[in-house]
Amino acid sequence: MMNRIKLAQFGLGPIGIESVKLAAQRPWAELVGAVDIDPQKHGKTVADLTGIAQLRAAKVYPTFEALWAEARPQVVLHTAGSRAEQSIRQIEPMIRHGVSVVSSCEELLFPQLRAPDATKRLDELCRASGARVLGTGVNPGFVMDLLPVFLTGVSREVRRIYVERVVNASTRRKSLQQKIGSGLDPDEFRQLFRQGRAGHAGFQESVALIAYCMGWQLDGITETCEPVVADHDIQTDHFQVKKGLTCGLHQNAEGKVGGVSRIVLDLKMYLDAPDPHDLVKVDGDPPLDVLVRNGVAGDRATVAALVNAVPRILKASPGVLLVTDLAAPCWKSE
């Protein structure tokens, strides 16, 4: 009989719930509990929240310490924020107990970019306790960073990397449709982006990860974001957007080396976007041009990225890890 990995979930929002459901299907995983700040969930079982009867022994706790006192997980799936500093504060108690963490926090893809001191402290804690921390997902975590890096494995030379992602946000969850500014006045969206309260998180981290892997020392990273304005009335399951209001975003990030553009990431995510796709172009030897028609479905694939990383993270050395530090990601039947 295989030794199952004792797994816990931190954050029971839409992504957290779906992570639990997928993990419950894995023969190697034993879900032992969950943590959420919502007092209405405390004392319930994970089965109550997911409808999966086999999870009735896994309870929902108000804090990680309460979970640890009874359940002692080996790995925690963390889906409770986008900012590195906040997520590191949430994760530190887990690391002190030697518990490894796989997180969907966008800025944890390359945490040393915005939180170098906190990342160094967390890495030292990991090495002392034997734990590991990994930030992963679809974007960031795969489409606009890991995938282009992976493709350069057959390159003799790389001069420039361009990644384009077009997402039809009408099919996505409410929180994402809200994050891209659905229904806002365009000027209000611009102001919220300047305040860090709107837009796609983790974009600069994707640029930083690619540059790190290529060995490029960037002059800096520039990022812009403009609202996409609806040219017709749009109705989704969550929002009604009138013509002339914001229905999404067009976000761009660029990294230069010696004044020369080396990395360009271009994201269009808006309601009713036609021709959704993911495109990677590597200007090099050989030149590469890879198109994923319809794009990678973000919500479902993010959950898979988190769960699929769990067995691999336990085989890695302790520390704060990058997705490129692990063996190539893949799905396994067992």
If DSSP codes are grouped into helix, strand and coil, which group holds residue 247? strand
Give the contacts of 260 (CB within 8 A, at least 6 positions apart): none
Instruction: Go through 197-213 and write b for each residue having 16 or more CB atoms within 10 A of its CB, e for each that does not.
Output: ebbbbbbbbbbbbbbbb
User: What residue type is assigned to position 181 of the chain?
Assistant: G
Classified by CATH at the fold level, domain 5-137+300-325 comes out as Rossmann fold (3.40.50)
Cα–Cα distance between 189 and 180 in angstroms, integer?
8
Q: Are strands 246-257 and 260-270 parallel, antiparallel or unpaired?
A: antiparallel
Cα–Cα distance between 17 and 13 in angstroms, integer?
6
The pLDDT averaged over each successive group of 10 residues in the chain (334 residues) is 87 95 95 96 94 95 97 97 95 98 98 97 98 97 98 98 96 86 95 90 97 97 97 93 96 97 98 96 98 91 96 96 94 76
Q: What is the DSSP letter of 281?
A: E
Helix (H), strand (E), coil (C) string for 54-81: HHCCCEEECCHHHHHHHCCCCEEEECCC
Instruction: Name the residue with tokens 């306790």.
Output: 129
Task: Enumerate the domain spans of the chain.
Answer: 5-137+300-325, 146-295
Q: State which CATH number among 2.60.40, 3.30.110, 3.30.70, 3.30.360 fits the domain covering 146-295.
A: 3.30.360
Instruction: Classify the C-alpha dihedral 43-311-123-199 as positive or negative.
Output: negative
pLDDT of residue 1: 42
Cα–Cα distance between 266 and 279 in angstroms, integer?
10
Tell the burial category of 259 from Cβ atoms under 10 Å away from its Cβ (0-12, 13-18, 19+).
exposed
Write the DSSP string, 150-186: HHGGG-SEEEEEEEEEEEEGGGS-HHHHHHTTTT--H
Instruction: For the beta carbon of residue 89, count every other beta carbon within 10 angstroms.
Output: 13
Write the DSSP string, 118-141: HHHHHHHHHHHHT-EEEE--STTT
Q: How far apart are the first and last CA of the chain?
A: 12
Cα–Cα distance between 55 and 21 in angstroms, integer?
9
If DSSP codes are grouped into helix, strand and coil, which group holds residue 221? strand
